[in-house]
Amino acid sequence: MTLKKYIIVFALPLVFAALAVAIYIEQLSSVVSDNLMTAVDEISSHDVETIEGSLNNTYERLEAVVKRMEVYDANSVLQLQEQLNLETASSPTFNAIYLLEKNGTLVSSTYVQFEPETQNYAQIVRDHDKRFAILYDDANGELETTKESLMYGVRLDESIRIDEHEFIAILGRSDLSTIRSQLLIESFDGRGVSSVVNDKGYYIVSASPATDLAGRDNLYSMLEEGHIEDGVTIDDVRQSISDGRSFTIHCVNAAGEELVMSFAPVEGTNWSFIMTVPSSVFQERFAPFITMTASMLTAVLVMVAVMLVLLYLSMKRSVLANAQAAARAEFLSNMSHEIRTPLNGIVGLNHLMERHIDDTEAMAGYVKKLDKTAHYLLSLVNDILDVSKLQAGKIDLVSEPFNFNSVIENLCIMEREPMDEKQISFELDIADIKNPHLIGDEVRIAQVLMNVLSNAVKFTPDEGRISLRASQAISADGKSSIITVTISDTGCGMSADFQKHIFDSFTQERNRISESQKGTGLGMSISYLLMKSMGGSISVESTLGQGSCFTILFNLDIDQAPVEKPELSTPEKRCVSAASEQPCTVLVAEDNELNAEIITSILNEEGYQTLVASDGREALEAFAASDEGAIDVILMDAQMPVMDGYDSARAIRGLARADAKTVQIFACTASTFAEDKERALQCGMDDFLTKPLEVDIALGKLQAVRDRKQGGECRGGNKSSS
């Protein structure tokens, strides 16, 4: 290729890039405006949620008053008013509380009764929902105030009867300050103003509140003094507020200032929240952004040009990687990204914990979040290891008796909380499973079903539906069966194109719902590879925007001699021995000082005595130097310097002392392959604990040892077992 052609090749992209920059700068104004409007919408959403929360809290206060009055059991209207007076005096919210009779009479906590002909609150109650809030207006009847106030009302589910009086609703009058104090009145350096109006345009909250009813400001009057742009009329604004719509207008006030007004409805009321921002704010923020962006884009173009040249020179000196290397690079890239996300959370939480170490409440929240993040990281690593082993054909499956119905029920229990949080309707039908006693890998079967069911919960919107149905076809000789499980949902569904790749690793479809969900994209790949390894199948039918239906087929032998497994002990049932009676001693063989400190601290808090060895040789010497029977359990790290855990366990078993054959040795290792477990057992170890250490499981196994030492009697406790 000649120099001229090289110049053309590189010049054309630069020309197109320059044109793109010009177009981009032209469109930047609208982009900046959109970003500012997004900020406006976020502030509006925050304040609307605050208002709605305040309203709900106030309604609940009124309902609580009713419940206490039912307990008080007044025998006369006067006693009822005395109770209302006490409630008002102790309330931080209400200036007065009223009960509305069925005939329209309003009984006040101030010992006043307002007859039906002097006020029309009975009609107001009928015209509104069960809960409502309105701006106090003396046109509805003059009460005990001339101040601007809010009237809250709740219709009673069961009326209160005293003699011939029947009360059907409770109302409370409150100052507007209870709403105003919770809002971010000013924003955008004090130039943006928040306010709330009712459907008549009167301000409930504003930057300059009125002191009495006569001085109230009105939105529509303000708009009439100026004008609205884009052909929008005041009647349009009035209708939009009345209809409870969100909308934005551009207008000019009487002083000639151009304004942007964003309206958002307050649910359960006829109110509208307004965020007013001067148009000059948008223009001022746009000008420096243009300059900065143009400079940055110019620098980027220069850098891109240099990088293109360097890339071209590099491509001439390199060769393309083969397909296997490309796949490995993609895998590592995805893995790095996914692992860094929770690691970033852990580092950040650790920083916050250092800053707030004396704040117990904050620390509790950080610890809870840290636990969730750590478990997510652990599940991610397990998923990656599962995929690696499955793709390499090194997955180890077991064939053991299990109860299929119990697996389904346990999965449903684990997913019940997230389903309840989203108010998802769940239908379970396993009536067609005639013989649930099967033989197979219970853990892997549960893993496949959990992957599919948890995905259904994750991608089904609030108040959606999920169903799980299982059927069984038993062979003629009664020795085997085919279990068909269908899990369907009304979630976001999948496109036809994505369904072709759903079982590929690190694959997730991008849409509004899926992008908000955290995950590696490995769950379906693992499920597919597991089903393939177990001789079953998994398939999906889905329509974008309507939902999905997964069908899973298991080929499983039937257990011909089923034996019900004993019930696992619950956290409430776990035995905790009295350590002071006969202490249980644990030798911790761990070369990592921090890990050893954590393990010993946990064990000491549980009443165990501990010894620490930093390698296998020290563990052997510590056991040999101890009195016979003094050490009950050894937690043996597999990988240690000087002497590893396997050799140390083998040497301990070979000692010429009685307890060398009976002391419990638990292998503690991050290796989860079957050959590692087999090696541990062959070296004389009794059990296997994986790292990161599951504390409850480890304590459960240690508790079993302590119980045997104490004679096996369960004295009760509150720690969980495995």
Report the C-alpha gap between 401 and 398 in whole angstroms.
10
Cis peptide before 562 (omega within 30 of 0): no
Q: Which residues contact 324 (CB under 8 A, 6 or more apart)?
A: none
Question: Which pLDDT score is estimated for 495?
Answer: 85
Q: Which residue, 251, 284, 278, 246, is CA-closest to 262?
A: 246
Report the C-alpha gap between 110 and 518 in whole angstroms.
56
Listed residues 512, 539, 558: the one ending a domain: 558
Q: How confident is the model at residue 81 (pLDDT cuts 50, 70, 90)?
A: very high
pLDDT tens digits for range 546-561: 999 999 999 999 998 8
Helix/strand/coil percentages in the chain, nearest 5: 45, 20, 30
Residue range 630-656: mean pLDDT, rounded:
93
Tell me whether residue 242 is in a domain: yes
User: Residue 76 in contact with residue 163, Cβ under 8 Å?
Assistant: yes
Which of the pair, 351 or 83, is modelled with greater confidence?
83
Q: Taking 90 as the threshold, does the pLDDT of residue 405 lie above it? A: yes
Q: Which residue, 128, 73, 81, 72, is CA-closest to 101?
A: 81
Parallel, antiparallel, or unpaired for β 664-669 and 537-543?
unpaired
Question: Which pLDDT score is estimated for 568?
Answer: 43
The CATH number of the domain where 609 resides is what?
3.40.50.2300
Residue range 201-221: mean pLDDT, rounded:
69
Which of the pair, 37 or 406, is modelled with greater confidence?
406
Listed residues 154, 173, 192: the one ending a domain: 173
Question: Which region among 87-101, 129-143, 500-514 has the lowest average model confidence (pLDDT)?
Answer: 500-514
Residue range 121-144: mean pLDDT, rounded:
88
Tell me whether residue 62 is in a domain: yes
Question: Which pLDDT score is estimated for 208?
Answer: 56
DSSP string, 281-339: HHHHHHHHHHHHHHHHHHHHHHHHHHHHHHHHHHHHH--PPPHHHHHHHHHHHHHHHHH
Phi, psi of 554, rounded to the nearest 5 degrees: -110, 130
Which of the pair, 341 or 170, is modelled with greater confidence?
170
Which of the pair, 378 or 234, is modelled with greater confidence?
234
Q: Are residues 431 and 548 part of one domain?
A: yes
The CATH number of the domain where 419 resides is what?
3.30.565.10
Which of the pair, 115 or 40, is modelled with greater confidence?
115
Tell me whether residue 448 is in a domain: yes
Report the C-alpha gap between 499 and 492 in whole angstroms.
13
User: How many distinct structural domains can be found in the chain?
Assistant: 5
Tell me whether residue 699 is in a domain: yes
Question: Which pLDDT score is estimated for 265?
Answer: 92
Residue-number span of the structural domain to which 466 is assigned: 400-558
User: Residue 102 in contact with residue 159, Cβ under 8 Å?
Assistant: yes
Q: Which residue, 96, 100, 70, 72, is CA-closest to 170?
A: 100
Q: Are residues 127 and 196 part of one domain?
A: no
Question: Which pLDDT score is estimated for 586?
Answer: 96
Tell me what the pLDDT averaged over the chain comes to: 82
Report the C-alpha gap between 52 and 55 in whole angstroms.
5
DSSP string, 361-386: HHHHHHHHHHHHHHHHHHHHHHHHHH
Question: Which pLDDT score is estimated for 506?
Answer: 57
Q: Are residues 540 and 415 part of one domain?
A: yes
The CATH number of the domain where 378 resides is what?
1.10.287.130
Q: Taking 90 as the threshold, does the pLDDT of residue 378 lie above it? A: no
Q: Taking 80 as the threshold, does the pLDDT of residue 702 lie above it? A: yes
Q: Are residues 262 and 361 part of one domain?
A: no
Q: Are residues 481 and 625 part of one domain?
A: no
Tell me whether residue 678 is in a domain: yes
Q: Taking 50 as the threshold, does the pLDDT of residue 701 lie above it? A: yes
Q: Are residues 236 and 336 part of one domain?
A: no
> What type of residue sits at position 483?
I
- The pair of structure tokens assigned to 213 is 């009813």
Q: Are residues 244 and 341 part of one domain?
A: no
pLDDT tens digits for range 504-539: 765 555 554 444 444 555 778 888 888 988 999 999
Question: Which pLDDT score is estimated for 121?
Answer: 93
Q: Which residues contact 53 (CB under 8 A, 6 or more apart)?
A: none
Which of the pair, 8 or 165, is modelled with greater confidence?
165
Q: Taking 70 as the threshold, does the pLDDT of residue 403 lie above it? A: yes
Residue 424 burial by Cβ neighbours in a 10 Å radius (0-12, 13-18, 19+):
buried
The CATH number of the domain where 112 resides is what?
3.30.450.20
| Angle 443-565-568 from CA coordinates, rounded to 5° | 80
Tell me whether residue 510 is in a domain: yes
pLDDT tens digits for range 464-500: 999 999 999 999 998 999 999 999 999 888 888 878 8
**pTM (2 d.p.):** 0.42
User: Residue 565 in contact with residue 574, Cβ under 8 Å?
Assistant: no
Question: Which pLDDT score is estimated for 300?
Answer: 73
pLDDT tens digits for range 280-308: 877 777 677 667 767 777 777 777 777 77
Which of the pair, 421 or 319, is modelled with greater confidence?
421
DSSP string, 393-415: T------EEEEHHHHHHHHHHHH
Question: Which pLDDT score is estimated for 594?
Answer: 84
Bridge partners for 99 per DSSP: 107, 170
Q: Which residues contact 606 (CB under 8 A, 6 or more apart)?
A: 576, 699, 702, 719
pLDDT tens digits for range 569-613: 444 334 444 444 457 999 999 998 988 998 999 999 999 999 999
Q: How confident is the model at residue 392 (pLDDT cuts 50, 70, 90)?
A: low
User: Residue 705 in contact with residue 568, Cβ under 8 Å?
Assistant: no
Q: Are residues 550 and 404 part of one domain?
A: yes
Q: What's the first-to-final CA gap in the chain, in angstroms? A: 70
Question: Which pLDDT score is estimated for 32?
Answer: 67
Q: How many CA atoms lie within 13 A of 634 on its CB side?
A: 37
Q: Are residues 485 and 541 part of one domain?
A: yes
Tell me whether residue 82 is in a domain: yes
Listed residues 233, 262, 282: the one ending a domain: 282
Q: Are residues 206 and 160 part of one domain?
A: no
Q: Are residues 552 and 429 part of one domain?
A: yes
Tell me whether residue 21 is in a domain: no
Q: Taking 90 as the threshold, does the pLDDT of residue 427 lie above it? A: yes
Bridge partners for 610 per DSSP: 586
Question: Which pLDDT score is estimated for 575?
Answer: 42
Residue range 364-379: mean pLDDT, rounded:
80
Q: How confident is the model at residue 316 (pLDDT cuts 50, 70, 90)?
A: low
Residue range 162-175: mean pLDDT, rounded:
92
Q: In the chain, pLDDT over 70 holds for what percent of residues?
A: 81
Q: Are residues 411 and 381 part of one domain?
A: no
Residue 523 burial by Cβ neighbours in a 10 Å radius (0-12, 13-18, 19+):
buried
Question: Which pLDDT score is estimated for 462?
Answer: 92
Q: How confident is the model at residue 438 (pLDDT cuts 50, 70, 90)?
A: very high
pLDDT tens digits for range 186-208: 567 777 788 888 888 888 877 55
Question: Which pLDDT score is estimated for 587?
Answer: 96
Question: Which pLDDT score is estimated for 502?
Answer: 80
Quick one: DSSP state of residue 506? T
